[in-house]
Structure formats: structure tokens, C-alpha cells
Chain A
Amino acid sequence: MSETQPSHQHNHGSVTSYVIGFILSLVFTIIPYLLVVNKLITGDVLLFTILGFGILQMFIQMFFFLHLGRGPKPLYNVIFFAGTAGTIMIVVVASIFITDNLYRNMMPDEVTRKLAQKEGIAQVGDKPTGACQGNKRNHVVVITDSEVQPLLTTARLCDTITFINDRDGNVELVFGTYNQTVSYGGEDKVLLDDGRPETITLNQAGNFIFRDRSNQGIIGQFSVE
């Protein structure tokens, strides 16, 4: 060993350090596994406990397997690792934080409406959501190769329409007023697989047409009061 590189032989580790690292890693793998499988604790406590064990295990392996930070020379690789870890924290934590916030606070109108419909939430605070509580009448529209029966359905708010596809192929219904396509009740389109009926709740008043996206012949109308 020379004077200029006095550190070199110090950071290779020994069998003992590998054995200690291995045993500690085993323990820190088995504990979170048992916690999760046996549900000894639950929820956020469990989440942060297993994350903690993961991070702890990372440090154990870096110390006992990678021998990071041992030896007296300038610790370039530790510094580089610290920089990387910082970047990772920004990327991962900030991504989760931002998307979670977006999801909670900037839910698109359509999603809100669908959710309100699905959960039957009629109003939030003083604001009606447009969701219906308890459906009323059901109307049936049958689509065949040659016609849509009935052509006009008149219904009241909160009634339902069931579309039945009696054609051979699939039908993709889009909604609209006379000159443009709009979404109805949060649905951009209704896909009717061959022979499979779909029901929508009429939670928006007005006159609407529905038509197949690709077949001009399939067109009908419903009016909601």
C-alpha cells in the first residue's frame, strides 16, 4: 500500500460485514411482510412503517454491502448519492403531492357529475349536482338496422333510458343538439356492444338528439322536461 492512496484497502468490507448486512436485511424484509400479511396494524401507520423499513434496509445495504462512506478519502460517491437522493425526493414526493392535489381540487366537471350520479349525491352544500335520487320511469329505445324505435322519447327529469342494440355490429352513440356534439349527463358517448343494453339517467333537461358516430341513419331524439 502506498502513501498516496492510504485508503484503498479499507473499504472492501469483510465476511463479517456481509453476514451482518445479510441478517439485518432478512429481518427487515420479514418484519414488514408479516405486518402486512397479518394486518397487525393498518392504514397510514402501516404504510409509513413499511416505507420506513424499506428506507432503513436501503441504508443497511449501502453500509454493509456497498461499504459507502467508509475510508478516509473524500467521499465523492456519497456526495453524488446525496445529490441524487435529493433529486429523487423532489421528483417522487412532488409528483405524488401535485397529482393528489390536482385530483382532489380540480376534478373535471364531468367526473364530478358522474361521481355524484354514481353515489346519488343530489347536492353539495346548497348547490344541486344534477344527480337523481331514486329513478323514476324507464324508457326503452331499440336500435335495429333500419330504424330507431321510438324516434322521439319524452321523459321527465330523473327517468332512465335503456338503449338496446339489435343490429349486428356495435353502435357508438353520441349526443348533441342539432348542430354539435355535447356530452350528456357526464357521458361523452355510450358504447353499445352487440346485444348488450345500456341505461343512462336523464339528469339534464332539454331536447337532445342521439346518433351513431359512424352511421348517419341511426338517429333519434329525447326530450327531458
Chain B
Amino acid sequence: MTQHHPSAETEAHEAAADDRTMFGFWVYLMTDLLMFAVLFAVYAVLRNSTAGGPDGAELFSPTLALINTLLLLTSSFTIGIALLAARNGLKQQALVWFGLTFLLGTAFLGVELYEFYEIMHEGYNLRTSAFLSSFFVLVGTHGVHITSGLLWLGVTMYYVAKRGLNRSMVRKLSLLSLFWHFLDIVWIFIFTVVYLMAFV
């Protein structure tokens, strides 16, 4: 494949590969979404089963949840800008925006772990009540996704820095950004259903 004058045939071939890959990844995201939906259903059913323990209004901080939402929302925006830069072949610019996304994601994870630590520090954990079991599993599963997203982001950034931006690299970055936007959307529902609804 010649970089500067790709034939129409090659371009069509690559574009079709892009579409196939994106669709395949989309199917994965939808099955992942189904898993989250089940965890949401479990949480919705068990959220009042506190077994005499504390409920959400006692344990959660709406401010912390808002901070986390803003962090993840901003990271979803920066990864979008990063992908645009990557598509335009602006390697340095892309790396800066991906780096910013990485930092925001890490900060998000930090706040989440701090929240978990605070709850456990007060003597409550996964085993306290059905409510807390479902809470830790739902939010924890999202956290695990964020962690793997950060790992993926870190490795990809390393390869972009080392090998530069080619078509297949941009394809990988598109999947990564899709994954990240997806996690942001799931978080919006965690913010609403878990944190805000605890105070209704």
C-alpha cells in the first residue's frame, strides 16, 4: 500500500475493513451493555435491602459523584478531540489529548477508590447488605472497565509515540474512543440511578 496515493480499490478495501471492525466492536459493546443492564436491574431491586445497615443517602456524597461525573465527561470530550487529531495525522496533538484523557481517567479511578475506601473505613463492605453487594458489584464492574480502558490507552499511546499514526493505528484508536464514550454513558446512569436517586 502506498501511503501518498492509495488507489480507489485499496481505499475501498480499507474503508470496508473499518466498518467491519467497528461493527464487530459495537456488537461487543452492546453485549457489555446487557451485562451492565442486569447489574442495574439487580441494584434497582436490592437498593432498599439494607438489612438494618446504612442506605445510600448515609454513605454517598453527591459532590464526589458530581466531581467523578465531570471528570469522566471531560475525558470523553478529550478522547473525541484526540481521535480527530489522530485522523488528521497530528501525532503530537493527538498524544497530548490522549494523555489528558489518561490523566482524567486516572483521577476518576482515584476518586472512586477513595469513595470505596471511605465506605469500608466506616466498617461497611460487600457483605454488609444486599444493597451494598449490588452497589460494589455495579460500580466496581464499571471501575474494572475503566482500569482496562486506561491500560489499553497507555499501551496504544506508547505505540503511537513509537510507530506513528497509520491507518490501522487510527482504527484501533477509534475502537478505544468508542469504548471510552460507552463507559461514560454507563457512568451517566450510575450517577443518576445510584448516586442521585439515593437522595430522592
Contacts and interface: CB of A to CB of B under 8 A. Distances in A.
Interface of A: 1-5, 8, 12-15, 18-19, 21-22, 25-26, 29-30, 32-33, 36-37, 42-43, 46-47, 50-51, 53-54, 57-58, 61-62, 65-66, 73, 76-77, 80-81, 83-84, 87-88, 91-92, 95-96, 99
B199 A5 contact: no
Contacts of A46: 200
Given A12-B84, A18-B84, A29 B70 contact: yes
Contact of A54 (B38, B192, B199): B192
A99 B45 contact: yes
B53 to A, nearest CB: 16
A62 B185 contact: yes
Interface string B178-200: 10011011001101110011011
Contacts of A30: 66
B12 A5 contact: yes
A14 B41 CA distance: 36
Given A8-B18, A58-B185, A66-B178, 8 more contacts: A18-B77, A22-B73, A29-B69, A36-B200, A50-B200, A51-B192, A65-B181, A92-B37
Nearest to A88: B37
A81 B30 contact: yes
Contacts of B30: 80-81, 83-84
B40 interface: yes
A29 to B, nearest CB: 5
A29 B41 contact: no
Chain A contact residues, majority secondary structure: helix
A114 B19 CA distance: 60
Contacts of B23: 76-77, 80
A58 B62 contact: no
11 contacts: A21-B80, A26-B70, A29-B73, A43-B200, A61-B181, A65-B80, A65-B184, A66-B178, A80-B30, A88-B37, A96-B41
User: How would you classify the secondary structure of chain B's contact residues: helix, strand, loop or mixed?
Assistant: helix
A77 B197 CA distance: 31
Interface residues of B, number: 48
B137 interface: no
B107 to A, nearest CB: 16
Interface string B5-31: 000110110011011001100110010
Given A32-B192, A54-B189, A25 B73 contact: yes
B44 interface: yes
Interface in B149-200: 178, 181-182, 184-185, 188-189, 191-193, 196-197, 199-200
A54 B69 CA distance: 12
A33 B62 contact: yes
A41 to B, nearest CB: 10
B81 interface: yes
Contacts of B18: 8
Nearest to A6: B15
Contact of A15 (B62, B76, B81): B81
A42 B41 CA distance: 23
Nearest to B63: A37
B11 A1 contact: yes
